Amino acid sequence: MSRLYNFELKDIDLNPVHLNQYKGKTLLIVNVASKCGYTPQYADLQSLYNKYNHRGLEILAFPCNQFGNQEPGTRQDIKSFCDLNFNVTFKIFDKVDVNGSNASPVFDFLKKQSPGIMGSEAIKWNFTKFVIDKSGKSIKRFAPKDGKTKIESYLSDIL
């Protein structure tokens, strides 16, 4: 069993979420921000969720303010922004750090399993995406610029 399923996190409403509830699902885990040039990708993520959730896809979004102060709002600000602008129905978590000594253990785990270009583990910007297979293994890392078309072509083959 993957260590990923051992993590317990807080969602945007501070409710505990045990990742073991996602066993047997394909996950797309993304660090997100409301004031980023890639923020329109929320619409793409919602579209992917709408299209593939019935086939076992879950999207887990983690707001992060480590890149250019692009997620400065409170939990309520973030939740309202996602609801009003993108009608987000996938799971949004409490704000996290993805790099450094205060990084979420989930992102430390993901970065080790799926390093970036030239083996770098650091996440370079908002909207870095990790695909997790049904056994809980991180099998693909997408760059922030990688959009819906590239992600969907990959997901449609593994779902």
Of 99, 94, 85, nearest in space to 128 by CA: 99
CA distance 79 to 74: 9
SS3 5: helix
Structure tokens at 108: 């430390």
DSSP state of 106: H
CA Rg value for the chain: 14
The percent helix, strand, coil of the chain (3-state, each to 5) is 35, 20, 40
Give the residue numbers marked as catalytic.
36
Please answer whether residues 91 and 17 qualify as being in contact, where contact means their C-beta atoms are separated by less than 8 angstroms.
yes
CA distance 58 to 60: 7
